[in-house]
Structure 1
Amino acid sequence: MDHATPAPAQPTTGPPLARERIVDVAYGLFARRGIRGVGVDEIIARSGVAKATFYRHFRSKDELAIAFLERRDRLWTTDAVVAEARRRGGGGESALLAIFDVFDEWFHREDFEACSFINVLVEMGPGHPLGRASIEYLARIRTHLAVLAREAGLRDPEGFARSWHILMKGSIVSATEGDPTAARLARQMAVWLIESHRAPPAP
């Protein structure tokens, strides 16, 4: 499984692909350096498009950053984490625990870049449009977790998803601090959380 930032698309002269080239380049830059650390001129230069072409597709850097977050949700949340956890665990409790197996591999990668939604939220603040968008994408993660909790027959799936998400986010922060074993520790706590939410046996 590959959590690495996708390589930018090869330059092409086809106008329909200009937007994708811009998003490809911005994806890698924003994921590694944040939003404020990347300028529009650099994105334009690396994309190989004219300034007029850039602004034809994106009215501002913030609008491009929204496209970045949308792609991050699809590539990271949906494909790299949820779909991969389901592939490994099948569903229910096993899929939930497999999330931390996926994280463990991710945390040991040299190109580990943490969670862009958390990064952008901290960088821009919850009152900024990008901060609000990040909050919405983080909420989507909890929706996926609640679905897995229901499949596992756990009590209070929404409450469980909130607690599980805290473990996920905490392990990411710990890995960012320099602890590559954080996912394994979080997985141990995750087992206890599952046990506390199992429905009691029928009388």
Structure 2
Amino acid sequence: MPADSRSRILAVAYELFSRRGVRDVGVNELIERSGVAKATFYRHFPSKDALVLAFLEQRDQVWTVDAIVGQAKLRGTTPTEQLLAIFDVFGDWFLRDDFEACSFINILLEMGPAHPLGQASIDYLARIRGHVQALAEQAGLDRPEDFARSWHILMKGSIVSATEGDTQAAKRAQQMAGWLIEHHRS
């Protein structure tokens, strides 16, 4: 557990929000599990929504940038290989005992697109698409924005399928991803 109170609160929130969503986790549980006083909690996070926004920011860095994009870049030597490697990363993730699906999708569905947390989730999902679009541009694919939108459907669909119990969802999506790449080649 981190030493400073803000980091402890965020660490507990990361664990609970990624596993259980927003509405199932109360402020009192967050305070108790992080071992801080209520005043300390509210000094760092004036509302639960403020804490969820901090969680989403951390999730983007830890999961999207470091784990997915970072690992895909390590596993592939070309932009095309890196795109396909996203589904190798997903395949490993889907088999983990602590697989918790996508927090951005979960919070968007839980809170709705009109809620500020739903909108923040939409923004983070767009950032993921941006990473894909950048790789598509580097790979020289046609219509990289359209490609990224279609690719993102495969990513989100494989996550939902894995949540349903399909442990091969990443391999299935990767096969379709290969077809999508060929469709977007000049």
For the superposition of Structure 1 and Structure 2, which TM-score range results when normalised by the shorter chain? Answer: over 0.9
Aligned to 1:46: 33
Deviation at 1:104, TM superposition (A): 0.5
Aligned to 1:29: 16
Find 1:86's aligned residue among 49, 73, 91.
73
Larger Rg: 1
Deviation at 1:18, TM superposition (A): 1.0
Q: What CA distance in whole angstroms lies between the structure 2 residues aligned with 1:58 and 1:174?
A: 34
Q: What CA distance in whole angstroms lies between the structure 2 residues aligned with 1:91 and 1:54?
A: 45
Three-state SS of the structure 2 residue aligned to 1:141 is helix
Find 2:50's aligned residue among 33, 45, 63.
63
Count residues in correspondence: 186
Find 1:157's aligned residue among 144, 153, 177.
144
Per-residue Cα deviation, 1:152-184 (whole angstroms, up to 9, x for no partner):
110111110000000000000000011010000
Deviation at 1:74, TM superposition (A): 0.3
Q: Which ranges in structure 1 are unaligned for 5 or more consecutive residues?
A: 1-8
Q: Percent identity?
A: 68
Report matched runs for 1:89-168 at 5 Å.
89-168=76-155
Per-residue Cα deviation, 1:97-154 (whole angstroms, up to 9, x for no partner):
0000000010011110000000000000000000000000000001000100011110
Aligned to 2:182: 195
Q: What CA distance in whole angstroms lies between the structure 2 residues aligned with 1:125 and 1:90?
A: 38
Please report the TM-score for the alignment, with normalisation by the length of structure 2.
0.98
Find 1:185's aligned residue among 150, 158, 172.
172
Q: Match for 1:112: what amino acid?
A: F
Q: Do the aligned residues in 2 keep the contact of 1:92 with 1:148 (CA within 8 Å)?
A: yes
Please report the TM-score for the alignment, with normalisation by the length of structure 1.
0.90
Aligned to 1:6: none
Displaced runs of 4 or more, over 6 A: none
Q: Match for 2:122: what amino acid?
A: I
Q: Do the aligned residues in 2 keep the contact of 1:91 with 1:148 (CA within 8 Å)?
A: no
